[in-house]
Chains A and B, each alone.
Chain A
Amino acid sequence: MTTEHHPIPPSPVERRVAALEELLTEKGYVPEGFIEEFTRTYESDVGPMNGAKVVARAWVDPDYKQRLLEDGTNAIGELGFGGPEGHHIVVVENTPDVHNVVVCTLCSCYPWPVLGLPPRWYKDPPYRARMVREPRVLLQEMGCDLTDDVDIRVWDSSAEARYLVLPERPQGSEGLDEDQLAALVTRDSMIGVGRL
């Protein structure tokens, strides 16, 4: 059986989005081309590769690192990254004794300019609930094994602060330049659910 002459009708949620778009367009709230440009940006241009550049710069430039820890948004802006959800970025530094991990318990706050849009699991109830309740167990399940002597600090993102983890520079990376270092930095290490 072919669906050629009987296209699948839009689902209720598709119809609701179409209705919203029609209403908002009619009222003049949707500049022409805005949606396409905005979604294209977050699908292609903005993502963890931005945060990786910030981390690599902090590893090679102590002055930059200090500025980054003092005022994340400004220091990140130095590299040309900014925009929505990027006004109050706080950078927290991992050390041999302290491991930082980020969650948003209420919704899905996330530092878009440096990490793009959050991964699926970050927005799901299990992560949002369990990272607060049992971070060590959950981190282990996600492949991030920490010894008992490492303190775990869980940061709850909000309108006041969007957190970015500054992971430790991997051992053996002394000879690498900034671009090579950036290539080592993963999204998960900057959320704090992974180590490098």
Chain B
Amino acid sequence: MQLDVDGPAAPPRSNGELVFDAPWQARVFGLAAAFVQTRFEGDREPFRQRLIAAIATDPERPYWESWVVALEDLVARST
């Protein structure tokens, strides 16, 4: 398996690297945070369990798409 290693930590920003490749990735990140906050009082564990399951189901799926699957799953179970 090839490992896609990013460049050095410093440039282009002190944060290390751009964390989102597309606006929808930032959106699902923020949406999950909002739902964790308002529905689970900040407890991230229920979401984490769905994320683990989503990744285990399809390990090669792009990472942020697994977030979408995990959030859809969590919403279906807890609203």
Contact = CB atoms under 8 A, between A and B. Distances in A.
Nearest to A183: B10
A13 B51 contact: no
Given A16-B72, A35-B27, A36-B30, A27 B59 contact: no
Chain A binding surface, main DSSP class: helix
Contacts of A46: 15
Contacts of A120: 4, 6, 17, 63
A17 interface: yes
Q: Interface size for chain B: under 10, 10 to 19, 20 to 34, or 35 or more residues? A: 35 or more
A98 interface: no
Contacts of B68: 13, 16-17, 20
B38 A28 contact: yes
Given A17-B24, A29-B34, A187-B16, A121 B4 contact: yes
Contacts of B35: 24, 29-30
A38 B75 contact: no
Contacts of A142: 3, 5
Interface string B37-79: 1110010110010011001100110010100100110010001
Given A119-B6, A125-B1, 11 more contacts: A13-B24, A24-B31, A35-B31, A39-B29, A39-B30, A46-B15, A48-B16, A84-B44, A124-B63, A129-B1, A186-B9
